[in-house]
Amino acid sequence: MIKSQKKIRYNYGFRKLSKDNIESEFGKQLRMNRSIQIEGAFAVIKEDMKLCKLKVKGKNSVKREIALFCIAYDFNRYISKLSKNKIGIVLHSLKSA
């Protein structure tokens, strides 16, 4: 069996488009919100849900347990937003220097 050589090529057009998207005002806002929301989610799961150590062993069991905690977190968030009538995407605004 003959192995074919694979070549990786750098696409300057896609790289420029990606950089333009990231450096736009909306891209900056999305990056800022992602860091805020992700850190908050991990903090809630660790502190409020008391997840300091997983209770199972094995890759599939660990994935299942983490998925259950994530589903519970999402469900709690949804119920909270539903009760406050704030359903939809909420983005924090950028602060100007």
- Any domain includes 30: yes
Q: Which two tokens stand for residue 10?
A: 């750098």
Are the beta carbons of 45 and 73 closer than 8 angstroms?
Answer: yes
What is the span of the domain harbouring residue 71? 12-84
Q: What is the pLDDT of residue 44?
A: 85
Q: Which two tokens stand for residue 13?
A: 């057009």
- Any domain includes 59: yes
- The answer to whether the predicted template modeling score (pTM) of the entire model surpasses 0.85 is no
Q: What is the pLDDT of residue 13?
A: 95
| Residue 84 CB contacts under 8 Å (≥ 6 apart), including other chains | none
The Cα–Cα gap between 11 and 38 comes to 30
Domain count, the chain: 1
Q: What is the pLDDT of residue 1?
A: 64
Give the pLDDT mean for 14-32: 93
